[in-house]
Structure 1
Amino acid sequence: MKGSEIFIAPSTFFSFSLFCFFETIILLLHVILLPTYIYLTWNFNYWQKRGLRSALPLTILGSFPSILTRSRNLLYEIDVIYRYGDTRIQIAEFIHTYLFLFGLHPPIRRYKHRCRMVGIYFLRQPQIMVVDLRLAQEILDSNFSAFEMTAACSWMHLRNPNKLDKLALCSALWTTGEIWKCNRAVVSGALAQTRLKHSYDLCQASCRHLKDFLLQKCIGAKPQVVETVDLVKRFAAAALCISIWGVNAGTLTNTKKKQNEFLLMTERATKQMSSLRNYSLLSAVMPFFWELWPFRLISRAVDNYFVQFTNDALECHRELRNPSGLLDVLSLLYERRHTGHMSDEALTGYCMTMLLDGFEDICSALTYTLYYVGVKTI
């Protein structure tokens, strides 16, 4: 009717506004999440195109979603792929096993019996998981030269010229190609079987220091409670220091100081190395990330400390010929320094490689050993 007005109820207007709001939110989520989903999953047919059976990822996080969710240890997901395969094989195996109970059909075999290797995805990066033991032995023994670099040092290879990590250039863990072969030869010579036999006496010396430390702390007028983790770290630092540098770090003998500088710097270095995990995850999602944000493996303070520590240990070697009286790693490197013109940075890099590679492993093994000994005793 001409001249009439239309009135909208407030409840109707509110419902319409709420509908528009939710519609906008859903649209924005599609605009944001859809490109992200496509970016993370577009490469999931990589192994299928190349004729290799792939352990299909169930989520956009690749074959190992716990890398980001941290719901469980990564080794459990690797074990699932190795023992059971992907979801399709698990379902097929369940059906075949059920039929096998009635004598109708033999059970299906799993990945480790069906394939020598399978394709997996570290987030969006395609990788190969070897599930056949003979193939793994063949790769490690005879065909190792066919592989140029490891996944850990692949991003270091692109950094030119590694200005932030001079010590990493002397480490077999982070170098590639001919430099890696040279570094590996030096480290292998320091860990030869004949030298490892002599290192037993070095470990015995650390064990005696540990015994004296426990007697001092636990037996006396005022017995003290010794924290297990701290005790294990002190022993690991002392054993590695005397085995590598041939000097006493003072973690078990000098108990007047609450914090030992050698142990403190070793812990800082291992923590910085563990932060590499987050960096590698971002690099796996965005390969250009390492070019935008250079990452330093070892901080400058830790770098300078161990360079000075190595120089001080060398002074002891010059004055006393061998301060520990035994065959430590630094004594071998000191001999090669004169024959092969090894630099101070290379000398420190080799020593730090062995320290960082062994510290966490020794601490973890001893901590769990003491834990299970305590559980069995109780």
Structure 2
Amino acid sequence: MILITLALGLATVGLLYLLMTWNFDHWRKRRVPGPKPKIPTGNYPHMYTMKRHAIYDLNDIYVKYKNKYDAVGIFGGRVPQLLVISPELARRVFVSDFKHFHDNEVSNLIDEKSDFIFANNPFSLTGDKWKQRRADVTPGLTMSRIKTVYPVTNKVCQKLSEWVDKQIRLGAPEGINAKDMSLCFTSEMVTDCVLGLSAESFSDNPTPIMGHIKDLFSQSWSFLIYFVIISTFPSLSHLIKLRFVPPKVERFFIELMENAVKARRAQLVAGKQFERTDFLDYILQMAEKRSLDTRQLLAHTMTFLLDGFETTATVLAHMLLLLGREPEAQKRLREEILAHVKDGIVSFEKLNELPFLDACVQETIRIFPPAFMSNKLCTEAIELPNKDGPNFTVEVGTTIVIPHYCFMLDEDYFPDSQSFQPDRFMEPDAAKKFRERGTFMGFGDGPRVCIGMRFALAQIKAAVVELITKYNVKVNPKTRKDNLYDPMSFITSLQGGIWLDLEAL
């Protein structure tokens, strides 16, 4: 009996081993080099413990192979992935060979039944549906439309400085939480610009709007567990789909959307001309042309909300951190801004013409890219060269990993890469030149470049202008001194948080 039990146990272990390793020869069969995967994490050793950010695991592989190959084969759990090592190949994936890598991997993990809202976001859509949605949304994010809501931006900036003044009066010995402050700013901005409503983010009694927007980016352990399960058993992705927008959040925003639309239409019926041509105005015009119902209308609206909230706040918070660490850069930026202040504000045109301000934003994005990596899908098979290795074919359905962090923090491309040096971007069109080399993709590249990039940059710059001209920014001692990423965060974030001391000038 004991022998039978032992034999069954060994057989079970053997079957599990075969199950977990049966495709570990995937890349060897295709003559693609790469590190040996391990059970059960593949080449992400901290997948379960979350003690180290995943991008650092990829960077170890990148450093080992970058002088030998353009790409190597790795595994996310049991899922084969092609890790792009050379910036030139990364550029091909995003631009010149775009038709072969048209879609984002998340499109495999989500559908309209599981999450109607996020499944209809341009980031998740595929093929012709993506083209149509991008064509729908792009006219709503032109520079001229962003300019029309610039008075709203200035109004929200004033609320921001009034809130900071209050914190200074109350005293904040442990510092101001830069991320929370930035989230208050972006939530107020996007709700006003997109819905024509105030989130009351800087008041003592904010509306539920900010809390629900936060819920979108504060995912539970179930969210993480889903990725672990799908990485271990990829075939389950056809049966179990991801839900990014929780049901309670969707219900809240549907009701909010209905109220915002009713209020705006009531104004129009009453013959009242709304004082600005904002994003809601554009969305309503599109809804009339396309006969969109409330849920479809919300899906379009959430594109603006999602693109304008978390990532923008992340860049703003980290830019304040880096300026606080570098007093000379902060002083130089303040002098540049003050030279263009007129009647207490910087005009929209001047905001986009301040070279050192733009350089500071780009350098922040380089050090703390909101998207530290991109996962693309091969949509049409293609043969690729591999430097010192043989050519190989990328098959349809293969996940392509572009490790932006690895390029942007590579000492060969950006010497002393961990230090804040805005002068890297002071040459005319410096960001464009780095992007064309494939070494800087803060907002992605090619046809699927971030659709809300210009709106995000306008928000960040306006907030920085407001704060730097009124306050001296210092880093509170409780903030760590290095740039270590939080391993639990899906969007780049300094581990331990960012705490600032702001002093009125």
TM-score tier (shorter): 0.7 to 0.9
1:255-293 CA distances to partner (integer Å, 9 max, x unpaired)?
242x53001111222224885343122112123434555
Query: Tell me, which stretches of 5 or more residues in structure 1 are unaligned?
Result: 1-19, 86-110
Instruction: Tell me how far 1:139 sits from its aligned partner.
Output: 2.2
Aligned to 1:205: 155
Structure-2 separation of matches of 1:211 and 1:65: 44
Residue 267 of structure 1 aligns with an amino acid whose one-letter code is: K
Q: Percent identity?
A: 22
Asked if the contact 1:246/1:324 (under 8 Å) is kept, the reply is: no
Alignment counterpart, residue 31 of structure 2, candidates 30, 51, 60: 51
Distance 1:185 1:173, change over 3 A: same
TM-score between the two structures when normalised by the length of structure 2:
0.57
Q: 1:1-378 residue pairs with structure 2 within 5 A? A: 30-58=10-38, 60-85=40-65, 111=66, 113-147=67-101, 149-156=103-110, 162-219=112-169, 227-228=176-177, 229-252=179-202, 255-257=203-205, 259-272=206-219, 275-290=222-237, 293-320=240-267, 325-374=275-324, 377=474
Amino acid at match of 2:211: L
* Greater strand content: 2
Name the TM-score, length of structure 1 as normaliser.
0.74
Aligned-pair CA distance for 1:323: 8.7
Superposition deviation, residue 65 in structure 1: 1.5
The whole-number CA distance in structure 2 between the counterparts of 1:134 and 1:366 is 29
Alpha-carbon distance, 1:114 to partner: 2.9
- 2:127 maps to a residue whose letter is G
Contact 2:109/2:241 (<8 A) preserved: no
Note closer, same or farther for the CA distance 1:60–1:299 as it changes in structure 2 (3 Å cut).
closer
Of stretches 74-83 and 267-276 in structure 1, the one that deviates more from structure 2 is: 267-276
Residue type at the aligned position of 2:312? I
Q: Would you say the 8 A contact 2:75–2:81 is kept in 1?
A: yes
Shift of 1:179: 1.6
Provide closer, same or farther for how the CA distance between residues 127 and 224 of structure 1 changes in structure 2, counting only shifts above 3 A: closer
Distance 1:40 1:328, change over 3 A: farther
Output the CA distance in 2 between the equivalents of 1:247 and 1:331.
13
Q: Aligned AA for 1:155? A: L
CA 1:278/1:185 → structure 2, altered by over 3 Å: closer, same or farther?
Answer: farther
Is there any run of 5+ residues in structure 2 with no aligned partner, and where? 327-473, 476-505
Q: Which moved more, 1:126-135 or 1:289-298?
A: 289-298
Question: How far apart in 1 are the matches of 2:277 and 2:221?
Answer: 31
CA contact (8 A) 2:79 2:234 kept: no
Counterpart AA for 2:106? A
Judged with a 3 Å threshold, the aligned counterparts in structure 2 of structure 1 residues 373 and 248 are, in CA distance, closer, same or farther, namely same
Question: What is the CA–CA distance in structure 1 between the aligned matches of 2:188 and 2:133, rounded to whole Å?
Answer: 25
- Give distance in 1, aligned partners of 2:159 and 2:255: 25
Q: Write the distance in 2 (CA, Å) between the matches of 1:216 and 1:118.
A: 53
Larger relative contact order (Cα-Cα within 8 Å, sequence gap ≥ 6): 2
Shift of residue 335, structure 1, vs aligned partner: 1.5
Tell me the amino acid that sits aligned with residue 252 of structure 2: Y
* Structure of larger gyration radius: 1
Distance 1:129 1:202 in 2: 43
Q: 1:57 to 1:287 in 2, by over 3 A?
A: closer
SS in 2 for 1:68: coil
CA distance in 1, matches of 2:39, 2:306: 34
Residue 340 of structure 1 deviates from its aligned partner by: 2.4
Distance, in Å, in 2 between the alignment partners of 1:84 and 1:52 is 15
How many angstroms apart in 2 are the aligned matches of 1:84 and 1:114? 9
Whole-angstrom distance in 2 between the partners of 1:372 and 1:27: 61
Q: Over the residues paired in the alignment, what is the CA RMSD in angstroms? A: 3.2
Residues 287-343 of structure 1, C-alpha deviation per residue, up to 9 Å, x if partnerless? 343455554332222111111111222233324459973443222211111222233
Q: Distance in 2 between matches of 1:213 and 1:187?
A: 33
- What SS does structure 2 have at the residue aligned with 1:231? helix
Q: Bigger CA drift: 283-292 or 236-245?
A: 283-292
The answer to whether the 8 A contact 1:272-1:298 is kept is no
Alpha-carbon distance in 2 for matches of 1:203, 1:29: 65
The whole-number CA distance in structure 1 between the counterparts of 2:260 and 2:114 is: 25
- Counterpart residue number, 1:92: none
Richer in helix (by share) = 1
| Helix, strand or coil at the partner of 1:114 | coil
Asked if the contact 1:241/1:247 (under 8 Å) is kept, the reply is yes
1:375 and 1:134 mapped to 2: Cα distance?
Answer: 33
Which shows bigger deviation, 337-346 or 323-332? 323-332
